[in-house]
Amino acid sequence: MTSVSPAASSAASTSRLHGLDGLRGLAALAVLFHHTALTVPTFAAAYFVETSERSWDVGSPAWWVSRTPLHALWDGEAAVMIFFILSGFVLTLPVLHSPRFRWDAYLPQRLTRLYLPVWGALAFSILMILITPRGTNDDTAWLRRREDSVDLRSVLQGIVQINGGSEILSPLWTIRWEILFSLLLGLFVWIGLRANGMVVVIGSLALIALGEYRNVGPLKYLPMFLIGVVIATHRRTLAERLGALPRWAWIAALAACPLLISTPWMLPLELPEVIREGSISLQVVGATIIVAACAFGFPSSRFLGSAVVQWLGRVSFSLYLVHETIVIAAADIVGSDRHVLIAAVAIPASLLVAQLFYVVVERPCHRLARRVHAGFA
């Protein structure tokens, strides 16, 4: 065996974490593509039952984009699964390895980093509702469900995040689970350290399937974070075992991910609901493979560590928070039946606004969060 110096080991670890940053950026980009696609009736047909039944005919455009592995390319929910697993992994690492980690400082810092950018994005969305002709484009059910006015209840719901997001800014629904996981981090890390990792992962997948079938949010979403925690707490063992896998095994596993992620969409509608709903666990398996591949150095960090992908990772939270507001504004301003033009406007505009939001809002919030942490030292 060839020995590896601590410096080289540290560099490899840093490279792999850069890979996770890149993955986060690509997941945020997938959510942007997802919501942009939902301004197009063909794509929205996958999610809203009022669309013509002909859209589900085998071989039709809607069938190809929704009932085949192509769905993985714009599956926003799968991207959110990646976010949740990543959060579990990344938040656990300082608990295990940072000598500066303090539980009394962790939660105030974490809540500062979550809440303040969310409030900034909510204010931006409300401003855009007030100054743009919102609600003029009703091409799809997704557009029709977006708020074209502001009411106090929706604003308060978005501010407090007790019941998730609102139609003013629907992506905020995920923040509720991020906050709950942040509150439960200590318990989750204890489970990751004490319990058998394989048992925890299998149990988590079962709970996710049950949560989807019974429509119980905590059972569906919180175990996704726990999977990330398990990957972090067993990081060294996994690195040794997964690092020993031949390259073809990684390629095969990653090639299977679009199939796994798209499984619920490809199953026949005639199957029992418990099977179709329970297949969400296969989506989570696909998301987990992707996170593990990036966490342990496969694929090569050359792409994930590139300047563009790293920039996406840096502004990923900002992009996630502001993109829907821009997509809806673009759809309303450009108008109906001009879907290519909507995408041509919405995607670059979302990236630009995300950079501005990062500089003006998110980065100062990060600095404040660090000062909050320092205040407990």
Share of the chain above pLDDT 90, in %: 70
Which amino acid is it at 291?
V
Residue 243 is predicted with a pLDDT of 85
Residues 190-249: pLDDT tens digits?
999 999 999 999 999 999 999 999 999 999 999 999 999 999 999 999 999 988 889 899
Q: Hey, what's the torsion of the CAs at 132, 127, 321, 166, to 10 degrees?
A: -90
Q: What is the pTM of this model?
A: 0.93
373 or 157, higher pLDDT: 373
How far apart CA 212 and CA 209 sit, in angstroms, is 5
CA R_g for the chain: 21
Average pLDDT, rounded, for the chain: 89
How far apart CA 181 and CA 84 sit, in angstroms, is 9
Of the pLDDT bands very low, low, confident and very high (cuts 50, 70, 90), residue 166 is low
CB 69 within 8 A of CB 58: no
* Average pLDDT over every residue of 109-131: 94
- Kindly state the tokens that stand for 6: 């601590």
Query: Does the pLDDT at position 186 exceed 90?
Result: yes
Backbone angles phi, psi at 215, to 5 degrees: 60, 50
The full DSSP string for 4-56 is: --HHHHHHHHHHHHHHHHHHHHHHHHHHHHHHHHTTSHHHHTTT-TTS-GGGG
